[in-house]
A and B are shown apart, each in its own frame.
Chain A
Amino acid sequence: GAVVSQHPSRVICKSGTSVKIECRSLDFQATTMFWYRQFPKQSLMLMATSNEGSKATYEQGVEKDKFLINHASLTLSTLTVTSAHPEDSSFYICSATRVIDEQYFGPGTRLTVT
């Protein structure tokens, strides 16, 4: 149990367009979902924390108007990268908590902005 999926696994988009990434907890209800980004050879950096039905909490330096997070249900959170630019190209990973202290991670989404 505790499976988290992400869709799409890879996406290529043109500069200036928006891209939506979905994160789903498949077999449990997630109290909280997290969004991370990972640059090559770097560690995961937390972008934001979201709870169902409330506004996401963004980490310092993350533009909330650029990275829109919607947590519509206990099993689905979406990250929309608006007006994407090449520097937004990265690996985006979500995680979800079932109990308060363990996070279960999705397989990640590779975003390439051309």
Chain B
Amino acid sequence: KQEVTQIPAALSVPEGENLVLNCSFTDSAIYNLQWFRQDPGKGLTSLLLIQSSQREQTSGRLNASLDKSSGRSTLYIAASQPGDSATYLCAGLQGGSEKLVFGKGTKLTVNP
């Protein structure tokens, strides 16, 4: 059974810092991995989707990597801004399944 863990659970940084959020998964037979952003009381916004054949994806200040052999993914946020404050969730799609397994998220606070 796939389990997804995110560390740290919460992170507070000053504006402008570069930061890394971590996601680990137990089963390397992962089809893809997706990073989401969730604002308080809101739904999920998809940030980046990394297919199993890919190693990373980039969108603006965001870069996500996937290392299936070590069971890890990272989300790198460059030059953080207060508007980046949110909870970031990673989720893995198991091969042969339609089910996404989510981590508990990392709550990010970027202080002005």
Contacts and interface: CB of A to CB of B under 8 A. Distances in A.
Chain A interface residue number, banded: 20 to 34
B34 A102 contact: yes
B76 interface: no
Interface stretch (A42-50, A70-78, A79-87): A42-50
A102 B46 contact: yes
Chain B interface residue number, banded: 20 to 34
Is the contact region of chain A dominated by helix, strand, or loop, or is it mixed?
strand
B49 A102 contact: yes
B5 to A, nearest CB: 10
A42 B36 contact: no
Contacts of B51: 101
Residue with the greatest number of chain B CB neighbours at <10 A, chosen from A6, A32, A46? A46
B44 interface: yes
Nearest to B100: A103
A105 B98 contact: no
Contacts of A110: 41
A21 interface: no
Given A32-B98, A46-B100, A101 B42 contact: no
Interface of A: 6, 32, 34, 41-46, 49, 91, 93, 95, 97, 100-108, 110
Interface of B: 31-32, 34, 36, 41-46, 49, 51, 89, 91, 93, 98-100, 102-105
